[in-house]
Structures are given as structure tokens and as C-alpha cells.
Amino acid sequence: MSVIRTRAQVRALVLRRTRIVDLTNAHPTVDVNIDLDDGYRDLRQLVTDSKWATFLKTTGALALPVVPAVVGPPAEQYAAIPVPVDCNTVKRLEIARTTDWCPVSEVGFGNMRDYAGFGGFLRYNGPLAWTLLDQGVQATTALNTGSAAAGVIALFPVPTSSGFYQLWYLPEFASLTADSGAGGFYTYANDDQLQFHVMATSTKILISDNDSQGMLAGITAELQRYEERIRSSGPVKAGPRTWQRARNY
């Protein structure tokens, strides 16, 4: 069962931890609320990087592209999959050609051409792979409107039969707009995540106070303890460990 706390409740925990003299003038509520949202983003990234699926979102089933990103000549050797505009981190790509979802391996950009092959068996058989070409940075810059644009994932080689794909990704977190109720609460998978959020926010507040360095050192130690607990309690792989060669290895 998830842990739910309103912004007002978490802010009270943070203020109790920091114990700064003249807190209202040094750190007004509006500033603390900004730090709370930033601390929550830190938590979401840590949890996701530690293999928890707590904050992940899926695109749902979408049509698998079966044409090259660039028709050419020469034709590109990958199909383009758009990265959702609200995506912070892509964690998983799956495809389904029948009724079952199958994960696609992520590889580094430098390995993209290794999976292209030169035709025949090497090109049309064996595993697919993907790499993130653009998180949306280049697309947004090219659009030049100040609005976020979708990024691009390269799926290679280009699929030769239709099907579906879905992405699992960490979405961006929109800042809270209230102290409770709609738009006014944080959710956690367990108390460790709540405590990490409190400690992470406290460090953001204390780091700018010269008279609070002793308190900062203590809270930083607590923050590291909860970070380690989150990382060590994340899901782990079970069963035999294998590695995958490119089809034209």
C-alpha cells in the first residue's frame, strides 16, 4: 500500500528537521515548496534508477513502425519511435507481433550499426535493439518555439512485419499547486522514500545557511543512509544471467 502525504504534512516534517532560526524570513513557504518539488524529483530519479517501477508510466500499445526513419537513398537502418514529450527517462521498450510482449535490448549509440547487417539472415533474423537518439533537446531547439518537442528512439534494424510497441518511462513531475487535496500531495512506495524526500529537501534548505552546517552534515548522513536502503531494496534479476550478441557478431 502506498504512503500518501500532503504537501503541508511533508513541509512540516522538513521544517522540524531543519530547525532554522528565523526560518520564515530566510526560507519563506514559497521557497520551501520549490525545494519540496525538487527533492521529490530527486527521489523519483533515484527510485527509477534503482530498478523500482513505482513512478513509471506506459504509452500503451502503439503501432510498430516498419519504415526507415530516412527513406534515402541511402535508406536509414533504423525505425524512429517518438519519445513522449513528458518523458524524463526511458526505461524499457517492448514489442508485440502476436499476443505476447517481448522486451527489446537497449544498447549504446556506438553499437547502433552493429545490428544493421548487410541483408539476408543477418538483417532479418535475430534480436532487435534500441538506443535513445534525442531526449527532445535537438527537436525542441529546432522547433524554436519554447515548447517541448518529442524526442526520438532508434529501433534497429527496421522491423519487417507489423505489430505493436510500448515504452515504459519516468514522466516529468509537475510542481504541486496546493497544500492538500487535488494537486497537493506526494505518494511513496514506502516510508524510506518519504524519509529520503524529507532529507533531500532539508539539504537544499540547509546548504545555504552558514549557521546550519552541523545540522547539514547530520542530515546528509541520514540522506545517504536512506539512499542506500532504497538502492539495496530495489528489485534484482533472478535466474541465469546471459548476454546477447548482435546478429552479425
Q: How far apart are CA 86 and CA 61, in angstroms?
A: 17
**Is the CB of residue 192 less than 8 Å from the CB of residue 85?**
no
Q: Where are the alpha helices (DSSP H) in 27-129?
A: 29-49, 120-124
Overall pTM surpassing 0.85 (yes/no): no
Per-residue pLDDT of 23-32, as tens digits, reads 666 778 999 9
Per-residue pLDDT of 107-146, as tens digits, reads 988 888 887 654 433 444 457 899 999 888 877 888 778 8
Report the candidate in 87, 83, 75, 86 with the shortest Cα–Cα distance to residue 123: 75
Q: How far apart are CA 83 and CA 62, in angstroms?
A: 12
Per-residue pLDDT of 143-185, as tens digits, reads 778 877 788 999 998 988 899 999 999 999 999 999 999 999 9
Q: Higher-confidence residue: 238 or 74?
A: 74
**Is the CB of residue 37 less than 8 Å from the CB of residue 173?**
yes
**Is the CB of residue 65 less than 8 Å from the CB of residue 160?**
no
**Is the CB of residue 19 less than 8 Å from the CB of residue 2?**
no
